[in-house]
Amino acid sequence: MRRSHLLLLVIAWLLAGGVLAQDVVVFAHPGMPKTDAPTLQRLYTGRIVSINQQAARPVGLVAGHPVRREFLARLLGQDEGEYTAYWLVRRYVGKGAPPQEFADVEEVIRFVATTPGTVGYAPVGKLPAGSNIIFRP
């Protein structure tokens, strides 16, 4: 009996890992040009405010969201604590505020679709056809 429970637990863990390891891409409002990882790293850390001389406003998901954790790890090489601490310091010294945060992926997608100059991230499978994907990690 215990072996079957252990087997079910292992299978559930493997399936959950597949769900969390999503193909997260960076997308933008139509018209924003494609870009590279260093540019997006600078954008999401507040060091730049444009992509190829076009004003860009990054948005993201709330702390604790699995897609946000995946994005931070893959693109910025940071975990939640490091990213939050980074923005606490920047805000304290008057160097800006972190990207606007949304509770779920659908909100990010809607906001980016309707707000010129915005850049967000989401699992590629959640984006509507024709989305402006500007970077794939």
pLDDT at position 137: 86
**How far is the C-alpha of 79 from the C-alpha of 84, rounded, in Å?**
9
Residue 131: partners with Cβ closer than 8 Å, 6 or more residues away: 27, 109
Question: Is a pLDDT exceeding 90 seen at residue 135?
Answer: yes
pLDDT at position 19: 42
Give domain limits for the chain: 23-135
137 within 8 A of 41, measured Cβ to Cβ: no
Query: What's the whole-number average pLDDT of the chain?
Result: 89
Return the CATH class of domain 23-135.
alpha beta
pLDDT in tens, 55-88: 999 999 999 999 999 999 999 999 999 999 999 9
